[in-house]
Amino acid sequence: MRGLLNKLVSCSLSVAGKWQHQQLRRLNIHEYQGAELMGKYGVNVPKGVAVSSLDEVKKAIQDVFPGESELVVKSQVLAGGRGLGKFKNGFQGGVHIVKADKIEETAGKMLGQILVTKQTGSQGKIVSKVYLCEKLSLVNEMYFAIMLDRTSAGPLIIACKKGGTSIEDLAEKFPDLIIKVPIDVFKGITDEDAAKVVDGLAPKVADRSNSIEQVKKLYKLFCECDCTLLEINPIAETSDKQLVAADAKLNFDDNAAFRQKEIFALRDPTQEDPREVAAAMADLNYIGLDGEIGCMVNGAGLAMATMDIVKLHGGTPANFLDVGGNASEGQVVEAFKILTSDDKVKAILVNIFGGIMKCDVIASGIVNAAKQVALKVPVVVRLEGTNVDQGKRILKESGMALITAEDLDDAAKKAVKASAS
């Protein structure tokens, strides 16, 4: 989805690489949570309930869906491509339309299992809940999204009269079907704006006036909840002429966590990289990558330069880790714990330029981390700046087998060499 929006909106959310893309931290919630939030704003959504055990499945069928002959069973993971995904237990597909007598069996094959999709990577994600939904009689499927657009400096609504399938492919083959409506953030959405969106959706049977109101409600949700993305694929028409959000993907601005406490309480850390969860708890800026050289640096710019020069000398960074300018000794210890928890890491490169961050604090953190964590990989250290002499003395007197470096280039070469030995 991100790739599509980048293509549709010039320079919007542009990124220079994988780690930089992921560094834009935005809360992502499950489909069932998004549907519930939409329902609170008066958006039409299918009747549904999330369950986490077979006992809850039985109860939901009896209490919520009595007499239903079929239901939609959707695995809940924070990744796209669920329908075409595959479970590690061999079960195919994370979304199924199921007869009533097969609902428990299908849910049982999903709950507690690992689902692998095109967006999860080979490791997949665990399914802790499944979403049981009523099966709607859909007559038309379309696409709808609201995002923040740098070009127009405000929200942008994207609509397409075709949906439910790969919107990326559709945008590439039929760009004229994609309608973009920028919204003046100060005026808000007007009836004219909403009408343009509905015209882009081109509903066949849904009431036009009601559809316009649905678009305005979605925009209200987007603004009041501090969303960065609201995507519905498909937004659909039903046989009773209703416009319904048959899917729900919502992201929220982490900077708004202080005023969106109920929404941010919905965060599911089981769907995130446990290293990134641990880093967030320690107030560290960490992004896991796939390389073999763990990096601990102070300052985002220096971290980028460190990753670049490691790559230049033939290595691959295992992470982006910025301890910041005011890191405590305890945070440095936590940083080392996170780095050493990655089995792929074959060497660690510590690159500190002490300005606000003092080299002696980093050095003490390294020594204490070595006492608490069994360091099984080489550690290359380059220190420069405030209290550098004290820092080097602490490291020297620790008795640790550290590899010291005089400058960044020297440090990167030594780290690459150490990782290969």
Residue 413's nearest CA partner among 311, 294, 342, 320 is 311
> CA 388 from chain center: how many Å?
38
Tell me which residue of 7, 13, 3 sits closest to 178, measured CA to CA.
7
How many whole angstroms separate alpha carbon 342 and alpha carbon 318? Answer: 8
Structure tokens at 116: 């692998």
Amino acid identity, position 174 = F
Helix and strand numbers, DSSP H then E, in the chain: 15, 20
Q: Which of 131, 143, 219, 286 is catalytic?
A: 143
> Is 117:80 a contact under the CB 8 Å cutoff?
yes
Q: Which helix (H) or strand (E) holds 130?
A: strand 130-134
Instruction: Please report, for residues 169, 275, 277, 368, the alpha-carbon distance to residue 272 in angstroms, rounded to integers and kept in the order given.
Output: 28, 8, 7, 28
Structure-token match 């990577």, residue found:
121
- The residue annotated as part of the active site, out of 31, 219, 231, 334, is 231
Nearest to 247 by CA among 76, 5, 54, 60: 76
The rounded distance, in Å, linking the Cα atoms of 308 and 315 is 9
CA–CA distances in Å: residue 152 to residues 157, 179, 250: 11, 15, 21
Distances, alpha carbon 391 to alpha carbons 335, 352, 394, 404, 405, in Å: 18, 11, 5, 12, 13
Catalytic residue at 192?
Answer: no
Q: Cβ of 185: how many Cβ atoms within 10 Å?
A: 13
Structure token pair of residue 24: 């834009």
219 included as an active-site residue:
no
| SS (HEC) of 61-119 | HHHCCCCCCEEEEEECCCCCCCCCCEECCCCECCEEEEEHHHHHHHHHHHCCCEEECCC
For residue 115, give Cα distances in angstroms to 87, 109, 131, 231, 353: 4, 11, 15, 22, 42
Q: Which residues are catalytic?
A: 143, 231
